Each structure stands twice: as structure tokens, then as C-alpha cells.
Chains A and B, each alone.
Chain A
Amino acid sequence: MARKLQITVNHDLCVGNAMCETIAAKVFILNDDRQSEAKYPDADTEENILEAAENCPVSAIKVVDADTGETLFP
């Protein structure tokens, strides 16, 4: 089974570029301020989620292994 991820988006940084939503639309949803929220962290593969995080132009997305606490990105 895929490991559980804890995904956070830093809203001091997020500029609503929406690349995360483009790459992993099932996970990242833009809120009313058009900032990203990782609403459904289990809804896509780890690979896609990490790709979304890597392609955030301001590195606002942090991905952590929910069980071990290991940082997967950045």
C-alpha cells in the first residue's frame, strides 16, 4: 500500500500559480483566495504529488511521510 503523505501549502508563499492543480488536480484545490490547499492528500500517486511540489514556482508545497516524519520535498 502507498504510504500516507502529509502535504502542506505555505500561504505566505503561494501565489496561486495553479501548476500544482494542473499536475495533481485531485489533490490540490484552489480556495476562494485562489491559493492552493492540499484537500485530498490520498487522491493521487506519490509520484504525481511530488511532481506538483517540484513544479511550484515558489516552493510553497511541503510533502512529509505522515508516519515517519521524513521530509520528501523540498
Chain B
Amino acid sequence: MVTTVADDMFTGDAISDPYSYYGKLRDEDPVHWNELYELWVVTGHDDLVWMTRHHELFSSEFWKRDQRSPYPAIDESDMGLYQFMREFFMDWFIQHDRPVHTDQRKVVHKWFNPNSMELWRPMVRSVIKDCLDEADASGHMDVMRDFATPLPLFVIAQMMGMPHYDRKFIRSMAEKLLFIGRGETDRMQPLTEAIKEFIEYLTPLVEEKAAKPVDENDLLSVLASGEKTGALTRDEVVADAILLLLAGHETTINLICNGTLAFTQHPEQWKILKEGRLEEPDAITRATEECLRYDPPVKSIQRVASVDAELGGKLIREGDRIRWFISSANRDPKKHDNPDTFDISRWPNTHVAFGSGIHHCLGATLARLEGQEAFKALAERYDNIKVETNEFEYQPSITFRSLKTLPVSLT
């Protein structure tokens, strides 16, 4: 079917309001061939879930298998850098299929399960307290800079046994790596720079941890133990450490920032949260899920077809690349009543903010814990959070839904 939606996914409109852009696609052509980028764009809830749960048809080995030229285009002279970047990303365990994926995920999986995560709750609370005490002193903060970013960054760095003074370095690398979801033709430069610097920084740390017996309170040490069991090579340990550092904060940042914004725009929902008047599961739990559904931190993820397969009545050919959009799936009227309404009482909330199937987010429990504690602390401390700007500028990324700043006053 022909749709009225233009194929450029980096226009100002598509970045500032992905709900209209991908929502229109979902309603008009839910499995859409984007001619401009030679890419299938999947936007409906059911197709997304079916696809992610059929990992034998839709491979996660995107960087290994994709044979087409990069989209959007990059500078011809950067093809060598592109190749370097692909080879690095291929080492991430998220980029593997079964059976390798299972063996590699198992190295760290149980450290992220709900019981293990509970142990970190006191630490998360204390970081939140520090951030908000500081904001209280002035009565203002930039939610992005002063709360949403330092919290998850501190937490994942702490879990991975990184020296605290390295957090700035980790953040600056992450900022360059954000270029992965952007459209600039020279984006390979910052991307590959960051990969090289990150590897250089982590290699001696991994070496040190690998030489010692495994320390169960240190995720980097746990990762390094995967080398001894044969699940991971040294390069893969380093690559997965970068994956955990990045995925561990770049995403949760947006949960906290986008969620806070949603509450400031829906005072009646803020009131319900503050009064806590909802049955089991409690208001904080439900609210965090609704924030994840309503303005999801991750907009889209890629796959590549490993065989010819049918999806939503379309024939996807072996080797075709695919991008599935959480933003539109979470607002799918076939799945959610009044999908564009922010309603924290919604339950069950079957959003797909963390994906689905065997690659469902490893850090989901951690992200939930951080989100719940952050919203709870805000609700306990403040009657009013007022946004001090009329303009909301988002990072020009098709991967992350990320505000640049969110200045607020607190009373």
C-alpha cells in the first residue's frame, strides 16, 4: 500500500513528534517498505511482538549480516570507519542469535534478576537523595543534567566497579556513541573515536579483573569470568562492558526525564501519584509502567531477516533489514484503550518499551527500580514541578527519545 508518509525519518517533525509520524505509518501501512533507506519499518504492537519472538526468522546479527549500504548515507571516505564500527558492534551479545546469545547472556543474567537487583535499592535511594538535596538548595534544576543523567550513570558505574571519577569520561563517550542513531554523513568520526577510546580505557581494567578471582559484587569482574568458562573472548568481554555501561544509563536517562515531563503536563495524574490512591500494584509501579508506555526511552531497534518470512501480509526477503518502532506500538489502539492518554492507573500495561522475546531488556528490573525510586522521591518532595521553557528540543536520533534539557522549578 502506498502511504502519505514521507520516508525521511530525520525531519524536525518526525524527531519532535514521533507519535504522529510513526502512528500514521502504523495506521496506513504497518509493515512499510521505506524506499529511501531500503528498510522495512514495523510500527504495530502485534507485528512487533510476533517478530521479536520469532528470533529464528528475524536475526539480531544486524551488523554482521546487513549487506546494504549504510542508512542514511555516510561520507564515501568513511567506509573504512564504518567497517571498523561494524566489527566492534558484532561482538556485543545483543547482536547474537541462539545458541551463542543464550550462553553469553547467561554470564550476567542472574545478576540482573529481580532478587539480585533489590540489593542495589539502598544505593539508588542515596544517589537520588544527593541529587535532590542539591536541587532543593536552589529550587531549580535541569532534570536532564542534574537528575536523569547522574542517577543511572552513577548506578551502573558503581555496579561495574568503575572508579567514580571516571563517570564524566563514560558520559562523554556515550554522547559520541549517540551518533549511532543520527543522520549526519560524517557521524562515523565521533562514533569510531569513542569506540577506540572506550576500548583503550577498559582493556587494562578488564585485564586486572580477569587476573583475580571473580568478585560477585562487581559486574565487570562477573563479565570477565565469562572468559574463563569459554562463553566470551577477551574482546567480547570488553565490548559487552561497553554495552552494559551504555545501555545501563543512556536509556534510563530518558525514562526519568520523559516521565517527569509527562507528569508536569498532566497535573491530575501527578495528584494521583502523590496521593498514592491506587490498589495493588501501587501507584508508583503503575506510573512507571505508564511512563515507559507513553513516551518510551528507546524508539526503535533493528533486525535482519535470516530467511524469507511473512510479516503483516508482506513478504520480507532473506537479508532485508527491519526497524521496529516502540513509539508507535505503545500507542497502538488495537492494544491499548485511549492510547494517547497518559493514565497511570492503566493495568495490566503490556507496553513493549523493553522489547520482547529472548532479547527482552536485561536491565529492565534495574531501570524499573531506578524509575520507581526517582518518581517516588519527586512525589514525596514536591507539590509542584513547573517546566521553565516552552520549547522542547530532542536529540536528532531515531534510536532514543531524548530531550536535550528540561529546566524546572520545584516547590
- Taking Cβ atoms with an 8 Å cutoff, the residues of A that contact B are 12-13, 15-19, 22, 33-34, 54-59, 74
Contacts of B53 in A (CB 8 A): 16, 33-34
Q: How far, in Å, is B275 (CB) from chain A's closest CB?
A: 26
A57 touching B365 in the complex, CB below 8 Å, given contacts A19-B109, A34-B54: yes
Cβ-defined partner of B358 (8 Å) among A17, A58, A59:
A17
Within the assembled complex, what's the spacing in Å between the Cα atoms of A17 and B365? 13
Closest chain B residue to A18, Cβ basis: B358
Is B69 in the interface zone, CB < 8 Å from A? no
Partner of A16, one of B109, B112, B350, B356: B356
- A34 to B57, alpha carbons, bound, how many Å? 14
Shortest CB-to-CB span from B242 to chain A, Å, is 22
Whether B102 sits at the interface, judged by CB under 8 Å, is yes
Residues of B bordering A, CB below 8 Å: 53-54, 102, 106, 109-110, 112-115, 348, 350, 354-358, 360-362, 364-365
Contact A54 B356 (CB under 8 A): no
> How far in angstroms is the closest Cβ of chain B from A22?
6
Q: Does A54 contact B106, Cβ atoms closer than 8 Å?
A: no
**What's the minimum C-beta distance from A31 to chain B, rounded to whole angstroms?**
11
Contacting A12 at CB < 8 Å: which of B54, B114, B348, B365? B348
Check if B348 sits within 8 Å of A54, measured CB to CB: no
Given known pairs A34-B53, A34-B54, the reply for A57 and B350 (CB within 8 Å) is no
Chain B residues within 8 Å of A56, by CB = 113
Residues of A within 8 A of B354 (CB): 15
Give the distance in Å from the alpha carbon of A33 to the alpha carbon of B53 in the complex: 8
Q: Chain A's nearest CB lies how many Å from the CB of B101?
A: 10
Q: How far is the CB of A44 from chain B (nearest CB, A)?
A: 17
CA distance A15 to B115 in the complex (A): 18
Given the interface pairs A12-B350, A22-B102, A34-B53, the reply to whether A57 lies near B112 with Cβ below 8 Å is yes
Q: A16-B53, A17-B360 are in contact. Are A55 and B350 (CB under 8 A)?
A: no
Nearest CB of A to B358, in Å: 5
Residues of B within 8 A of A17 (CB): 357-358, 360
Q: Could you give 12 example pairs across A and B, Cβ below 8 Å?
A: A13-B348, A15-B354, A15-B357, A16-B53, A16-B356, A17-B357, A18-B358, A34-B53, A34-B357, A57-B113, A57-B114, A58-B360
Shortest CB distance A64–B (Å):
18
Question: Which of B106, B110, B112, B358 is the most central at the interface, judged by chain A CB atoms within 10 Å of its CB?
Answer: B358
- List residues of chain A with CB within 8 A of the CB of B102: 22
A55 adjacent to B110 (CB under 8 Å) = yes
Other than the given A17-B357, A19-B109, 11 more pairs (CB < 8 A) read A15-B357, A16-B356, A22-B106, A55-B109, A56-B113, A57-B112, A57-B114, A57-B364, A57-B365, A58-B360, A59-B114
Interchain CA distance A57-B113 in the complex, whole Å: 6
Q: Which residues of A contact B106 (CB under 8 A)?
A: 22
Check A55/B357 contact, CB under 8 A, given A16-B53, A22-B102: no
Contacts of B112 in A (CB 8 A): 57
**Contact call A15/B360, Cβ cutoff below 8 A:** yes
In the assembled complex, the CB of A69 is this many whole angstroms from the nearest CB of chain B, namely 20
Least CB separation from B52: chain A residue: A16
B353 nearest CB across to chain A (Å): 11
Minimum C-beta distance from B326 to chain A (A): 13
Q: Give the docked Cα–Cα distance between A67 and B54 (Å).
A: 38
CB distance from A57 to the nearest CB of B (A): 6
A15 to chain B, nearest CB (A): 5
Chain B CB within 10 A, most for which of A12, A55, A57, A74: A57
How far is the CB of B111 from the nearest CB of chain A, in Å? Answer: 10
Contact in complex: B348, A16 (CB < 8 Å): no
Alpha-carbon distance A13/B355, docked complex (angstroms): 13
A13 to B112, CA, bound (A): 17
Nearest first, the 9 closest Cβ-Cβ pairs linking A and B are A34-B53, A12-B348, A17-B360, A15-B360, A16-B53, A15-B356, A55-B113, A16-B357, A18-B358
Chain B residue at minimal CB-CB distance from A19: B109
Nearest Cβ on chain B to A21's Cβ, whole angstroms: 10
Complex CA distance for A18 and B54, rounded to whole angstroms: 12
Chain A nearest CB: distance from B98 CB in Å? 9
Instruction: Decide: A16 near B358, CB < 8 A? Known: A33-B53, A34-B53, A57-B112.
Output: yes
* One of A13, A18, A33, A54 near B115 (C-beta < 8 A): A54
Residues on the A chain within 8 Å of B54, using CB: 34
**How far, in Å, is A17 (CB) from chain B's closest CB?**
5
User: Could you tell me the distance between the alpha carbons of A59 and B113 in the complex, rounded to whole angstroms?
Assistant: 9
